[in-house]
């Protein structure tokens, strides 16, 4: 038996092959998952599931399917409306993959997912660590400044290939320095 939380609503999950399973499965608007035979509130059992890339999942053995059910996607399917067919992805508004409550989930387009990931606290911390990194780099800040000056010089004598050989880096590294993807903080 499951203890009901105030305001919690349970809905049965319906995925490919769900009718062949012995038990029924449901998720709540608070992000909890359960299995049951007759009624989720009387004979239901809460499921923890497992973690797949940080996301809570249920691994169910269904015929002709991989059987991995992402709980956040199921909650969004049952409790959140899609704005359009382009909204194929589900994002966690607070960036916490373990918070699968319906109010924390939103259907999003690929562009919205990309923008959302850039504002993630983990991504911001990673960018900060990378910007302050000094160990394990092939180039120094002084070398990068010199390379940028050479790239921007209209009377440059060396080709990208020659510059790459001179500094023992790939040509792609030079293109990334030019675009600001790498070493963007060096002017």
Render pLDDT for 74-113 as a digit per residue (tens, 0 to 9). Answer: 999 999 999 999 999 999 999 999 999 999 999 999 999 9
User: Where is pLDDT greater, at 19 or 52?
Assistant: 52
Q: Residue 64 and residue 148: Cα distance in Å, rounded?
A: 55
pLDDT value of residue 60: 85
pLDDT category of residue 185 using cuts at 50, 70 and 90: confident
User: Quick one: CA dihedral 162, 166, 170, 175, positive or negative?
Assistant: negative
Tens of pLDDT, residues 5-44: 999 999 999 887 777 788 999 999 999 999 999 999 899 9
Contact 127, 120 (CB under 8 A): no
Tens of pLDDT, residues 60-82: 877 666 778 999 999 999 999 99
CA within 13 Å, CB half, 123: 9
Q: What is the DSSP string of 102-135?
A: GGGEEEE-HHHHHHHHHT-HHHHHHHHHHHT--T
Q: Residue 183 and residue 125: Cα distance in Å, rounded?
A: 17
Give the residue carrying structure tokens 């499921």. Answer: 47
For the cut 90, the answer to whether the pLDDT of residue 132 exceeds it is no
pLDDT value of residue 73: 95
pLDDT value of residue 17: 77
Q: At what angle do helices 141-152 and 160-167 cross, to 10 degrees?
A: 170
Predicted TM-score of the model (pTM): 0.71
């Amino acid at each position: 038996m499951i203890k009901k939380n105030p305001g919690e609503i349970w809905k049965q999950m319906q995925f490919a092959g769900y009718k062949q399973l012995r038990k029924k499965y449901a998720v709540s608007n608070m992000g909890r998952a359960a299995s049951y035979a007759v009624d989720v509130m009387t004979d239901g059992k809460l499921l923890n599931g497992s973690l797949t890339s940080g996301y809570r999942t249920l691994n169910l053995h269904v015929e002709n399917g991989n059987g991995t059910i992402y709980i956040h996607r199921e909650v969004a399917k049952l409790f959140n409306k899609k704005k359009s067919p382009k909204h194929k992805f589900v994002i966690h508004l607070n960036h916490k993959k373990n918070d699968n409550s319906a109010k924390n989930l939103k259907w999003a387009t690929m562009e919205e997912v990309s923008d959302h990931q850039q504002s993630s606290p983990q991504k911001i911390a990673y960018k900060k660590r990378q910007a302050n990194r000094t160990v394990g780099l092939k180039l120094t800040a002084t070398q990068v400044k010199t390379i940028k000056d050479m790239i921007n010089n209209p009377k440059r004598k060396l080709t990208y290939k020659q510059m790459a050989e001179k500094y023992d880096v790939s040509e792609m590294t030079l293109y990334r320095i030019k675009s600001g993807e790498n070493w963007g903080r060096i002017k």
